[in-house]
Structure 1
Amino acid sequence: MHFSYFVQQKLKLASAIAIILVIVLINNRWENNNINELGETFGSVYKDRLVVENYIFKLASATHEKKYLLTQYKVKQSSEIKSEIASINTEIDFLLKDYQTTFLTVGEQQVFKNLLRNNDQLRAIEENPELEIAHLNSLYDKNIIMLNKLSKIQMKEGEALYKNSRSIVTSNASLSYLELGLLIILGLITQALIFNSKSIRGSLRKDNNNLPLN
């Protein structure tokens, strides 16, 4: 009976060890997924937010530059101004193309479509800018307003990504403490198994010594 009891206890401890090992493995897998998600979050912050913010800044600068050229009609020839505007438009086209390759939220897509539509109107009028300077200025101002909206979206989305990354870090810290606790329990169970094994061997020797001699 004594031996059977110790065997039962060892089986229980072994089962506990198996359960803890499974939990540790699952926990480790979860931590790896969190790390991968954190990497994707930082990648999105750079590619879809910081880089896009740079595009917005350059688009705004190009728009201000074209607006400034409208004030130069009295000191520059029309053909020269048109040439400079065309050069700026080439740069804008590259920026808009790069912008479209990034991840766009639903709200960002709508503002961006309006921006493209506004640019189409600008291109048509810029063929004879001296005839519609007031209208051009109005469209340039509209461009700036939409670019400001896009910039605010970048800030909002960047803040959301920051909060998500903090949540992942906090979650990983909690999982690390859990894993540490489980490993400590595993160590205690291992010690208990060793102690029980010694107790069994001691008990068996004692029983053998008490056996009657033939």
Structure 2
Amino acid sequence: MPKRTIRQRIHAGFVLAAAFLLVLASNRLNNRNFSTVEHGVDSVFEDRLVVQEYIYRLNNLFHEKEMFLAYNSLDEKSLPQYPEIKTILADFEKTDLTREESLQLTSLKENYAELKTLEEKHLKDQASEEDITAVLNSISTNLDELVEVQLSEGRQLTQQSKRSLGMNQLLSRIEIVFLVIIGILFLIIVFYRDKPNMELVEDEA
């Protein structure tokens, strides 16, 4: 096998370095995209599905108050109390909240505090059932808005994950094409032979 020239060795080194850098860059981009997908999946579960359950439970508890108010007189008894509401709100606040979500949750907590105040005042004949109903309606609006936020955020996270997976597939195809091209160039460099210098031989007369 003929010796490789210095120029061939340099070219081969450049080709191998290019292949290495391509694989390294592709690996880093793939890892970044997979991290995005992983974050999206975790966020959908921890900050959307779990929160959806909180909203569902809160909606049921406040709805029971509304039903009690609709079918029972509060002349001699107060609305049923549910201590778990406070716990659910505290757990809700610990999740990763968007700006809109934070505003609605703050409003919900304020309305719940007002509801408890009105319930206490009603026992002293200082608040009417209509006042309590109005606050319960506001709470219902807060919960509806929070549901909309979950749907919107879940949709965005899903789309972001799909884009990252699509980018990974595109990068994989590009990487294969470039590796094939680099492989061909490497073979050309290895098996290419420089034409020998033609020496002119003068016949002696």
* Fold agreement, TM-score > 0.5: yes
Q: Distance in 1 between matches of 2:44 and 2:74?
A: 45
| 1:10 shift after superposition | 3.8
Q: Distance in 2 between matches of 1:35 and 1:177?
A: 17
**Matching residue of 1:105:** 98
Counterpart of 2:115 (choices 119, 122, 140) is: 122
**Matching residue of 2:134:** 138
In the superposition, the TM-score normalised over structure 1's length comes to 0.80
**Matching residue of 2:12:** 13
**Matching residue of 2:43:** 44
RMSD (Å) for aligned C-alpha atoms: 2.6
* Residues 1:125 and 1:76: Cα distance change in structure 2 (over 3 Å): closer
In the superposition, the TM-score normalised over structure 2's length comes to 0.83
Q: How many pairs were matched up?
A: 192
Q: Distance in 1 between matches of 2:92 and 2:185?
A: 58
1:127 aligns to what SS in structure 2? helix
Q: Distance in 2 between matches of 1:140 and 1:176?
A: 54
Q: Distance in 2 between matches of 1:74 and 1:116?
A: 26
| 1:72 shift after superposition | 4.5
- In structure 1, stretches of 5+ residues that fail to align are 208-214
| 1:193 shift after superposition | 4.0
**Matching residue of 2:22:** 23
**Matching residue of 1:165:** 161
**Matching residue of 1:212:** none
Q: Distance in 1 between matches of 2:28 and 2:73?
A: 69
- What is the identity percentage for the equivalent residue pairs of Structure 1 and Structure 2? 26
**Matching residue of 2:203:** none
1:11 aligns to what SS in structure 2? helix
More helix by share: 1
